[in-house]
Amino acid sequence: MNVLRSTGTTEVAANRDLLVGIAPFVIGLVVVAILVVAVWWGIRIKSREAPPPRPQDQPRRPADAGRPGEVVEEKREPDAVPQDGIRRTPQQIKDTGGE
Q: Render each residue's pLDDT in the chain as its tens digit; 99 residues.
A: 444 455 556 666 666 766 777 888 899 999 999 999 999 999 999 999 988 889 888 888 777 777 777 777 777 777 677 778 888 888 877 765 555
Among residues 44, 40, 42, the alpha carbon closest in space to that of 32 is found at: 40
CB 76 within 8 A of CB 98: no
Whole-Å CA distances, 8 to 1, 12, 14, 16, 23: 11, 6, 10, 12, 22
pLDDT at 32: 98
- For residue 2, the model assigns a pLDDT of 47
What are the residue boundaries of the structural domains of the chain, listed by start? 10-50
| Model pLDDT, residue 28 | 94
Asked whether 79 and 94 are in contact (CB, 8 A), the reply is yes
CB 92 within 8 A of CB 82: no
